[in-house]
Chain A
C-alpha cells in the first residue's frame, strides 16, 4: 500500500469509528437528554425504558470514542498533539461530562429507591448527557473553523486565531446540532424498543427532535457559509454533494417512517443518515485534518505503525464483531418490556 493510500485508509478508519460512536454512543447521550426532559404521568416508565435500553450496551458503545482517539493518536500523532493544545479546555470539559454521565448513570442505578441520591444523580446524568455531545460537537467544528493555526516549521507550533475555536457561532451551532441529532436517534431507537402508549410518547419526542435537528442543520449550513466558507463550498463539490444529499434523503425517509409508524425502517434510515452525513463531511473536509494548516498527510505518523494498526483491524474485528452481534442479539432483538 503506498503511503498516500495508507493515510486515507487510516482516516477512513477513524471516520468509521466516529460514525459508530455517534450512531451507538450518541444515542446513549440522547437517552440521557430524553431522561432529563421526561415529563407527564408516564415519566418513570420513560426513564425505565431508557435505562433498560442503555444498561447492557452503553459501556461497549462508549468504547468507540476510545477507538477514535487511539486511531487518531496512532495514525495522526501530530494532529492529536495540535488538537490537545488547541482544545485543552473544551476537551477537559467534555471529559467531565463524559465521566459524570457514565458515573451518574450507574450511581443512580445503585442508589436507594426514589431517594434523594437517586434523583440527584438522575439530574447529573441528564445534564451531563447534554453537555458532553454539545462540547464534542463544538470541538469537532473547531477542525473546520480555521481558528486553530498550526506552524509546521521546526517544532510544531499551535496558535489560536482571533476567536476561541470552539466558541464561534458555527461551533456552537454544531454543538447544538449534535445534541439534537443524538436525541433524535435515541427517540427513534426507543420507539423500536417499547410499545403501546410509551411508544407513542417516544414517537412524539422523535418528531420534535427530528424537526429541531432539521432546523439546526439548516442553521449550521448557514453559519458555515459565513464562518467556514471554504467548507460550505466543499460540501457542494462533486465528491461530497451526492453523499450529503443522499444522507438528507435518508433523514427525510426516517422522518416519514416515524410518522407512518414503521419503526424498524426508521431506525435503519436514521442510522444510515448519520453515517452518510459524516462520510459527506469527511469527503468535504479532506485533505485537511485541521483547516487551513494541517492536512492528513502533515499529521500522519510513521507508516510502519499505521500499517500495523490497519493489519490488526481484521484480527480485532474477528473477535469484536461476533461479540457485538451476541450483545445486540441478546438485548436488542425483541422489544424490552417497559
Chain B
C-alpha cells in the first residue's frame, strides 16, 4: 500500500468512526432534553428513567466521540500536512469557533452527567439544553470548513506564490455552508431518532410493553418524523447548489456521463465508466433537468465536460447517493406510517404499536439513518475528489512525506475495531439492564471498581 492509499484509508476510517459519535452528540441530547422536559411537566417517572438511561449512553458515546475527534484534529495535520498548512492559514479561526462550542458541550456534559443530585431539576434541564445547542453549533461550524473545501474562498496566491488572505469572513457568507450544514444536522437527528426507535421497537417486540418503551418510541419518532420529512427539502436545495457549483460531482452523483438537455432522473443503476453510461437505471425523462434547474429542457453537464484525471469515482459516488436517497425515503415513509396509524387509532384502545409489521419496520430502520449519514458523507467527499481543496490542491499533493504511514494505518485500524467492539458490547449491556433500579444510579455513584454505592 502506498502512503496516499494508506493515508486515505486511515482518514476514511477515522471520519467514518467519529461521525457516528458526533451525530449522537448532536441528536441524543435533543431527545434527552425532550424526555427530561416531559418529566418536569408531568412528573411521570418513566420519563426520568429514559432521561437517565440516555444520559448514560451519552456519557459513554460522548467520551469516545471526544477522543476520536481529538484523533482527527491531529490526523488532519499528520496525514495531510500541506492541506492543513493552507486550511489552518485561511480558515483555522473557524476551527477555533468550533472549539469554543465543543468546549461548552464538554463542560455541560460533565455538569449534566454528574449533576443529577447537585443541581436543581430546572438547572439540570437547562444544562441539557446547552449541550443540545452547543453540539449542533460545533457540527455546523465544522461544516463551514467542509463547505470551504468544496468551494474555497477568501484567499489568493500573489505573484510570488505566497498565500494572501483577502477576507477571513467570506467563509461565513456562503449559501453552501447553510445548505450543507442544514442537511447534515438534520441527518444527525434522523439517524439518532431512528436508532433509538429501533432499539425500543426491539424491546417492545420482546415483550417490554410499558409506558417507558412506548414513550421512548414516540419521542424518537416525533423527532424522526419531523426531520425525515424536512430532509428531502434540504437535500433538494443542496443538490441544486451542487449542480450550480460542482457540476462534476453532480454528474457523478447522478451517473450523468453525457452532457444533455432533457436529462433523465436515474433511479438505481450502475455507472459503467468504460462504456460511459449508467446501466439498468429506471429513467424518468427530463426529471434530472427539472430537479436541477426547474426546467425539463435544461442542459445538465455530464462527466464528458471533465478531464478523466479530474473525475471523482463515479461508481462510488452514484452508488452512495442512490443508497442515501433510498434510505431517506424509507425512513420518511415508515415515520408517516407510524403517525398516520397513530392518528387513526387515537380513539381506540389499540395503538400504533400493536402492528408487528410496523414494529419490524422500525427495527429494520434502526441502523438505516446512520448508514444514510455515512453514505451522504461519501457522496460529499468522494465526489470532491481528486481535490482535497476543490480546484486548489489535489489529495495526492497533500499527503505526508513521513515514513510508516501504512503501518500506522494498520495500528489505527486495530484500535478503532477495539473501540467499536467495546462500545457495542457496553451499549448492549446498558440496553439489556432495562429501566430498573440501575437507571436511578448516576455515574458518579458508580465506583472505579464498579460497585454501586447506596
Say whether A and B bind each other: yes
With a 10 A CB-CB cut-off, give which of A62, A70, A96 has the most chain B CB atoms: A70
CB–CB A115/B450 < 8 A: yes
CB–CB B106/A50 < 8 A: no
CB–CB A91/B74 < 8 A: yes
With a 10 A CB-CB cut-off, give which of B164, B165, B430, B451 has the most chain A CB atoms: B165
Q: Does B20 contact A (CB under 8 A)?
A: no
Q: How far is the CA of A176 from the CA of B163 in the complex (A)?
A: 40
With a cutoff of 8 Å between Cβ atoms, the chain A residues found around residue B88 in the complex are 73-74, 77, 80, 301
Contacts A84-B78, A112-B450, A312-B93 known; A102 to B104 CB distance under 8 Å?
Answer: no
Question: B149 to nearest A CB, angstroms?
Answer: 15
Q: Which of B110-118, B238-246, B285-293 forms part of the interface with chain A? A: B110-118
Q: Which of A193-201, A244-252, A325-333 forms part of the interface with chain B? A: A325-333
Question: B81 to nearest A CB, angstroms?
Answer: 4
CB–CB B85/A326 < 8 A: no
CB–CB B114/A107 < 8 A: no
Residue of B nearest to A99 (CB): B67
A47-102, CB < 8 A from B: 47-48, 50-52, 55-57, 59-60, 62-63, 65-67, 69-71, 73-75, 77-78, 80-85, 88-89, 91-92, 95-96, 98-102
Contacts A48-B449, A63-B99, A107-B426 known; A323 to B84 CB distance under 8 Å?
Answer: no
Q: Does A161 contact B (CB under 8 A)?
A: no
Q: Does A28 contact B (CB under 8 A)?
A: no
Q: Does A35 contact B (CB under 8 A)?
A: yes
Q: Does B107 contact A (CB under 8 A)?
A: yes
CB–CB B102/A320 < 8 A: no
With a 10 A CB-CB cut-off, give which of B86, B400, B402 has the most chain A CB atoms: B402
* Contact string against A for B residues 21-33, beta-carbon threshold 8 Å, 1 for contact and 0 otherwise: 0000000000000
Q: Does A44 contact B (CB under 8 A)?
A: yes
With a 10 A CB-CB cut-off, give which of A59, A109, A326 has the most chain B CB atoms: A59
Q: Does B92 contact A (CB under 8 A)?
A: yes
B127-169, CB < 8 A from A: 155, 163-165, 167-169
Question: B373 to nearest A CB, angstroms?
Answer: 22
Contacts A56-B114, A98-B67, A118-B450 known; A74 to B93 CB distance under 8 Å?
Answer: yes
Q: Which of B175-183, B253-261, B359-367, B439-447 forms part of the interface with chain A? A: B439-447
Contacts A62-B70, A95-B70 known; A108 to B448 CB distance under 8 Å?
Answer: yes
Residue of A nearest to B66 (CB): A59
B44-95, CB < 8 A from A: 56, 59-60, 62-64, 66-71, 73-75, 77-78, 81-82, 84-93, 95
Interface footprint category on A = 35 or more
With a cutoff of 8 Å between Cβ atoms, the chain A residues found around residue B451 in the complex are 113-114
* Contact string against B for A residues 250-290, beta-carbon threshold 8 Å, 1 for contact and 0 otherwise: 00000000000000000000000000000000000000000
Question: B335 to nearest A CB, angstroms?
Answer: 31
Q: Does A5 contact B (CB under 8 A)?
A: no
CB–CB A81/B85 < 8 A: yes
Q: How far is the CA of A52 from the CA of B78 in the complex (A)?
A: 34
* Contact string against B for A residues 150-174, beta-carbon threshold 8 Å, 1 for contact and 0 otherwise: 0000001010000000000000000
Contacts A81-B81, A109-B443, A312-B96 known; A305 to B103 CB distance under 8 Å?
Answer: no
CB–CB A73/B84 < 8 A: yes
Contacts A81-B81, A95-B74 known; A302 to B164 CB distance under 8 Å?
Answer: yes
Q: How far is the CA of A154 from the CA of B114 in the complex (A)?
A: 53
Q: How far is the CA of A169 from the CA of B185 in the complex (A)?
A: 49
CB–CB B419/A85 < 8 A: no
Q: How far is the CA of A297 from the CA of B244 in the complex (A)?
A: 40
Residue of B nearest to A101 (CB): B67
Known: A103-B63, A301-B92. 10 other contacts (CB 8 A): A50-B448, A62-B66, A70-B96, A77-B92, A98-B70, A103-B64, A107-B426, A109-B448, A316-B96, A323-B108
Can you pick out 21 interface pairs between chain A and chain B where the beta carbons lie within 8 Å of each other? A59-B106, A65-B70, A66-B73, A75-B92, A81-B81, A84-B77, A92-B78, A95-B74, A100-B415, A102-B64, A103-B63, A103-B67, A109-B448, A110-B60, A110-B426, A113-B452, A302-B163, A316-B99, A320-B103, A323-B104, A326-B107
User: 7 tightest A-B contacts by CB?
Assistant: A74-B92, A73-B88, A88-B402, A113-B450, A77-B88, A301-B89, A47-B448
Residues of B within 8 A of A (CB): 56, 59-60, 62-64, 66-71, 73-75, 77-78, 81-82, 84-93, 95-97, 99-100, 102-104, 106-111, 113-115, 118-119, 155, 163-165, 167-169, 400-405, 408, 411-412, 415, 419, 422, 426, 429-430, 443-444, 446-452
